[in-house]
A = this chain, B = another copy of it.
């Protein structure tokens, strides 16, 4: 199987390393993955016989060598049409979706399957992209966009097939959940917990999208649109983050045996799908009560299979990379 990688941040690098580490075990399962393109914003590498990824890992992911050409971009992939899957991992932009949106659209229009971890294009244009994919008999793998290693899309697509989803509820943002857990456990104010998250590298530079609820909102919207056939965008839902949660509220609920969690929820009432993101008090009976620290979890309420919850899935670039590989392995099996 021939692939191209576009975008060259932490997940792409971890993915290349993972391909190297898993080479033998993938070969044993009949999957031989050749990387033909690695493209970043200012150019890239193309090798029609497959790039030597061991060399790239060995020289600490430096792409600047004799093979690097400034004019290599998505159009080379489209023109050559010599890969089976485009792995799209450019930075997320939840306002325009670009440049990922164009990359994904061009690939699908030109008979190339896509696997992506880029929330922007999926949040904004899933329906359109999916219909291009369907019309061309292609797969659009988006498992990484809604929790990385946590297989939330897969569970909704395959594990509850034949059943109607009544609602989906999730703790979907590791940073926010860590901060709330820290406030609960160490009984500190939001600011102190945030600072600890920053100092530990759990909260990233753009942590505002996390703590203000936009990351959770993006994920729950993707789940709603993909799994409940909704057509929601960010402006359709109320979003409240954790940045105004007070220590006192958390301690008051703790005394009652409850917790406050940042919940993203989407539900179908009278054939209308609605969604929200907000900090909610949850009791010990709630299926996500024990999803603490950086952990994530999603709970699906269904008509015939009961409530099914999926919890865990490590957070990190390696694990996000493994979720990209998961989609590739499943596409190789013919799963769309």
Contact = CB atoms under 8 A, between A and B. Distances in A.
A196 interface: no
As for how many copies of this chain the complex holds, the number is: 2
A198 to B, nearest CB: 23
Contacts of A52: none
B313 A310 contact: no
Interface in A5-38: 18, 22, 25-26
Interface stretch (A160-168, A206-214, A266-274): A160-168
Interface stretch (A122-130, A183-191, A323-331): A323-331
A13 to B, nearest CB: 15
A160 B326 contact: yes
Contacts of A323: 305
Interface string A314-336: 11001101110110111001111
A299 B312 CA distance: 9
A62 interface: no
B25 A164 contact: yes
A25 B158 CA distance: 16
A163 to B, nearest CB: 6
A188 to B, nearest CB: 21
A109 interface: no
A231 interface: no
22 contacts: A18-B304, A22-B162, A25-B164, A149-B304, A149-B306, A149-B308, A151-B160, A155-B159, A155-B310, A158-B159, A158-B330, A161-B333, A162-B328, A304-B319, A304-B325, A305-B322, A305-B323, A306-B319, A308-B311, A310-B310, A310-B311, A334-B335
Interface of A: 18, 22, 25-26, 149-151, 154-155, 158-164, 287, 289-290, 299, 304-315, 318-319, 321-323, 325-326, 328-330, 333-336
Given A155-B155, A305-B326, A308-B312, 16 more contacts: A22-B162, A149-B308, A151-B158, A151-B159, A161-B326, A299-B312, A304-B319, A304-B321, A304-B325, A306-B312, A307-B314, A308-B310, A308-B311, A309-B310, A310-B310, A334-B335
